Amino acid sequence: MAHLELTGLCKAYGAICIADRMSLSVPEAQVLGIIGPNGAGKSSLFNMISGDVQPDAGTISISGRDTTGLPSRRLAKLGVGRTYQIPRPFGGMTVFENLLVAARFAGGLGASDARKKCGEVLEATELSHLTDETAGGLRLLDRKRLELSRALVTDPELLLLDEIAGGLTDAECISLVAFIGELNKAGITILWIEHVLHALIEVAHRVIAVNAGQILADGSAEDVMASKDVREIYLGSAEALA
Amino acid sequence: MSIDLKMTVSGCIRVLVAVTAIASLPFVLATANIRLGTEILILLNLAMLWNLLAGYAGLVSVGQQAFVGLGAYATWMALVWFGFPFWIAVAAGALAAGLAASAFAPFLFRLQGATFAIGTWVMAEISLLVIANTSAVGGGAGVSVPARIAREIAPDRAGRESAIFWTALMVALVVLLSSYLLMRSRWGLALTAMRDEPTASEAVGINTRQVAVSIFLAVAVLTGAVGGLILLAKLRITPDSAFSLFDWTAYTIFIVVIGGIGRLEGPIIGTAVFFTLRVLLADFGPVYLIILGVLGIAVMLFAPKGIWGAVQTRTAFSALPVNWPFRSIAIQPNLKIPAEETKQ
Ligand SMILES: Nc1ncnc2c1ncn2[C@@H]1O[C@H](COP(=O)(O)OP(=O)(O)O)[C@@H](O)[C@H]1O
Ligand SMILES: [Mg+2]
pLDDT in tens, A89-116: 999 999 999 999 999 999 999 999 999 9
> Residue B342: what pLDDT?
35
**CA atoms within 13 A of residue B255's CA, in its CB half-sphere:** 32
CA distances from B42 to B17, B146, B171, B179 (A): 20, 22, 9, 16
> Residue B12: what pLDDT?
79
Asked if A92 lies within 8 A of B200 by C-beta distance, the reply is no
Chain A residue numbers touching B326 (CB-CB < 8 A): 94, 96, 115, 118-119, 122, 131-132
> Residue A128: what pLDDT?
92
pLDDT in tens, B121-180: 999 999 999 999 999 999 989 999 999 998 888 888 889 999 999 999 999 999 988 998
Position in ligand 1 atom list of the atom nearest CA A162: 21
Chain A residue numbers touching B204 (CB-CB < 8 A): 73, 76, 101-102, 105-106, 150, 154
Higher per-residue pLDDT: B12 or A128: A128
Asked if residue B305 lies in contact with residue B313, where contact means CB atoms within 8 angstroms, the answer is yes
> Residue A178: what pLDDT?
93
Asked if B324 lies within 8 A of A52 by C-beta distance, the reply is no
Chain A residue numbers touching B323 (CB-CB < 8 A): 94, 97
A165 alpha carbon – ligand 2 mean position (Å): 13
- B202 to chain A, minimum CA–CA distance in Å? 5
How far is residue B57's CA from residue B213's CA, in Å, rounded to a whole number? 10
Look at residue A86 and tell me whether its pLDDT is greater than 50.
Answer: yes
pLDDT in tens, B243-266: 999 999 999 999 999 999 988 889
pLDDT in tens, B8-49: 788 778 878 888 888 888 888 888 889 999 999 999 999 999
A61 alpha carbon – ligand 2 mean position (Å): 22
Chain A residue numbers touching B192 (CB-CB < 8 A): 90, 92-93, 97
Q: State the DSSP code for B140.
A: G
The answer for residues whose C-beta is within 8 angstroms of residue A5's C-beta and 6 or more apart is A24, A25, A26, A59, A60, A61, A62
Q: State the DSSP code for A241.
A: G
> Residue B326: what pLDDT?
47
- Which numbered ligand comes closest to the C-alpha of A36? 1
- Kindly list the residues of chain B whose beta carbon comes within 8 Å of any beta carbon in chain A: 186, 189-190, 192-193, 195-197, 199-207, 262, 323-327, 329-330
Alpha-helix runs per DSSP H in A36-128: 42-50, 72-77, 95-104, 111-124
Percent of chain A scoring above 70 in pLDDT: 96
Higher per-residue pLDDT: A124 or B305: A124
A163 alpha carbon – ligand 2 mean position (Å): 7
Q: What is the mean pLDDT of residues A196-215?
A: 92
pLDDT in tens, B274-333: 999 988 887 888 888 888 888 888 888 888 888 888 887 777 666 666 665 543 333 333
CA distances from B132 to A36, A84, B138 (A): 63, 51, 8
Q: Give the pLDDT band of residue B4 (cuts 50, 70, 90).
A: low
A48 alpha carbon – ligand 1 mean position (Å): 12
How far is residue A195's CA from residue A209's CA, in Å, rounded to a whole number? 11
Residue B8, judged by CB atoms within 10 A of its CB (0-12, 13-18, 19+), counts as middle
Which of helix, strand or coil describes residue B150? helix
> Residue B331: what pLDDT?
31
pLDDT in tens, B84-130: 999 999 999 999 999 999 999 999 999 988 899 999 999 999 999 99
CA distances from A84 to A36, A52, A79, A168, B199 (A): 17, 11, 16, 17, 10
> Residue B332: what pLDDT?
31
Tell the residue nearest (CA) to atom 16 of ligand 1.
A41
Tell the residue nearest (CA) to atom 7 of ligand 1.
A13
- B64 to chain A, minimum CA–CA distance in Å? 25
The DSSP-derived string for A172-202 is HHHHHHHHHHHHHHTT-EEEEE-S-HHHHHH
How far is residue B51's CA from residue B60's CA, in Å, rounded to a whole number? 9
| The dihedral formed by the CA atoms of A30, A31, A33 and A34, expressed in degrees to the nearest 10 | 60
- Which numbered ligand comes closest to the C-alpha of A18? 1
Q: What is the mean pLDDT of residues A185-199?
A: 94
- Kindly list the residues of chain A whose beta carbon comes within 8 Å of any beta carbon in chain B: 50, 52, 71-73, 76-77, 82, 84, 88-94, 96-98, 100-102, 104-108, 111, 115, 118-119, 122, 131-132, 136, 150, 154
> Residue A237: what pLDDT?
53
- B324 to chain A, minimum CA–CA distance in Å? 7
Higher per-residue pLDDT: B316 or A86: A86
Sign of CA dihedral A104, A108, A112, A118: negative
Q: What is the mean pLDDT of residues A197-205?
A: 92
Look at residue A5 and tell me whether its pLDDT is greater than 60.
Answer: yes
- Give the closest residue to B145 by CA, choosing from B83, B68, B71, B65: B83
How far is residue A18's CA from residue A14's CA, in Å, rounded to a whole number? 10
Tell the residue nearest (CA) to atom 21 of ligand 1.
A43
Distance of CA B339 to the CA centre of its chain: 47
Chain B residue numbers touching A92 (CB-CB < 8 A): 192, 195-196, 262
Q: The complex's ipTM?
A: 0.91
The answer for residues whose C-beta is within 8 angstroms of residue A59's C-beta and 6 or more apart is A5, A6, A7, A8, A9, A66, A68
Q: State the DSSP code for B133.
A: T
How far is residue A76's CA from residue B237's CA, in Å, rounded to a whole number? 51
Interface test with A, best of B4, B195, B207, B326 (most A CBs within 10 A): B326
Distance of CA A184 to the CA centre of its chain: 13
Higher per-residue pLDDT: A233 or A223: A223
φ/ψ of B62, rounded to 5, equals -115, 20
The DSSP-derived string for B39-96 is HHHHHHHHHHHHIIIIIIT----S-THHHHHHHHHHHHHHHHTS---HHHHHHHHHHH
Interface test with B, best of A43, A78, A85, A105 (most B CBs within 10 A): A105
Total residue count of chain B as it appears in this document:
344
Q: What is the mean pLDDT of chain A?
A: 92
b vs e for A129-156, b when ≥16 Cβ sit within 10 Å of the residue's Cβ?
A: ebbeebbeebeeebbbbbbbbbbbbbbb
The answer for residues whose C-beta is within 8 angstroms of residue A141's C-beta and 6 or more apart is A167, A168, A172
Asked if residue B128 lies in contact with residue B69, where contact means CB atoms within 8 angstroms, the answer is yes
Q: What is the mean pLDDT of residues A164-174?
A: 89
Q: Provide the edge-to-edge strand list for the sheet that holds A57-62.
A: A16-26, A4-13, A57-62, A65-66
